[in-house]
Amino acid sequence: MRIAILSTIAWRTPPRHYGPWEAVASNITEELVRRGHEVTLYATGDSQTNADLRAVCPRGYEEDPEIIPKVWEALHISNLFEEAGQFDIIHNHFDFLPLTYSSMTRTPVVMTIHGFSSPGILPVFRKYNNKVHYVSISDAHRADDLSYAATIYHGLNMNEFQYQSHAGDYLLFFGRIHSDKGAREAIQIALGCNKRLVMAGIIQDQAYFDKYVKPHLTAGRIEYIGSVGPDERSSLLGNAAALLHPIHFEEPFGLSVIESMACGTPVIAFNKGSMPELIRPGYNGYLVENVSEAVEAVENIPGIRRANCREHIERYFTVEHMVANYIDTYERILATTENER
């Protein structure tokens, strides 16, 4: 099968540290190549892949302020669609803008919907509903008036996540420093149970960080260590007693949740969005409604068998599972397309 993968150009594919959409696009690309498919990755010029890399933008615009996002996004997307006839399937990980090109080619377009940044973008999805084949990343993250080809959960390359059978002495917040992700609440939880908290992630809202995080930073108590890349990620996740995920939005998936469990670390999350699809309470973590319930859950974490967390990911959330489901989806779409011709 000849497959084009359209990644974003915000960050390199795979990302050096932050970049969940790029990470997923990379995992799919590399596993498709491993399975013998002819894959072309459209991404930044510094991306790393075993596929055929086609790039017009040299670096991610989040990493190079001289790159004007809209200019290079237009060049990047058009570069693929001008070559669309070379492929059996186009798989879009870029967001909604490439949908506007989809009627200009007979090549079927699959889109993984990583998130709806605002209800304001839904008119684009509605216009191309039933033209583009939408894939949701959880059952929770579906718009009622859109049609979907499948729900396919994200999957990890398990070789990148080392299992740790023994917990360390700290709680971990691993995500964007933003109100959506609940950095403030993570601090409240740690203070409430008198546990050390390590915080890692990009600062997406500097004012929020300055008001709710920075005043609490104390060595050995509440520590912010910046954004952590793949080299440090496994150790940081695996040595934590628990991952705190007190989100304040309907999160479509949550890569850090399955990454934590892949390392053996249970997760305490606010019960929103896709969290019930990832976490089995009492087995690999806890779903809670507020800070006080999270404090209670921390006390129960030692009763969770860490091997449960790893086994759960191996069973449901590996790159092999993910890509097998995508291949099934591609094949169903191609069979339907052939029947319509």
Residue 219, number of CB atoms within 10 A of its CB: 6
- Please name which of 54, 24, 17 lies closest in space to residue 115, comparing C-alpha atoms: 24
pLDDT of residue 20: 93
DSSP 117: S
- Structural domain spans, the chain: 2-155+318-340, 158-316
pLDDT of residue 341: 47
Q: What is the CA radius of gyration of the chain?
A: 20
Residue 233, number of CB atoms within 10 A of its CB: 20
Task: Give burial (CB, 10 Å; 0-12/13-18/19+) of 151.
Answer: middle
pLDDT of residue 338: 66
Three-state helix/strand/coil letters over 13-77: CCCCCCCHHHHHHHHHHHHHHHCCCEEEEECCCCCCCCCEEECCCCCCCCCCCCCCHHHHHHHHH
- Please name which of 161, 181, 171, 175 lies closest in space to residue 227, comparing C-alpha atoms: 175
Name residues of the chain where pLDDT drops below 50: 341
Calpha distance 136→114 (Å, rounded): 7
Residues 6+ apart with CB under 8 A from 71: none
Distance of CA 11 to the CA centre of its chain: 13
Helix (H, G, I), strand (E, B) or coil at 209: helix
CATH class of 158-316: alpha beta
Token pair of 311 as six digits:
């086994």
- Please name which of 92, 65, 70, 71 lies closest in space to residue 81, comparing C-alpha atoms: 92
Same CATH fold assignment for domains 2-155+318-340 and 158-316: yes
Could you tell me if 52 and 43 are in contact, meaning their C-beta atoms sit under 8 angstroms apart?
A: no
CATH 3.40.50.2000 for domain 2-155+318-340: yes
DSSP 176: -
DSSP 2: E
What predicted TM-score, i.e. pTM, was given to this entire model? 0.93
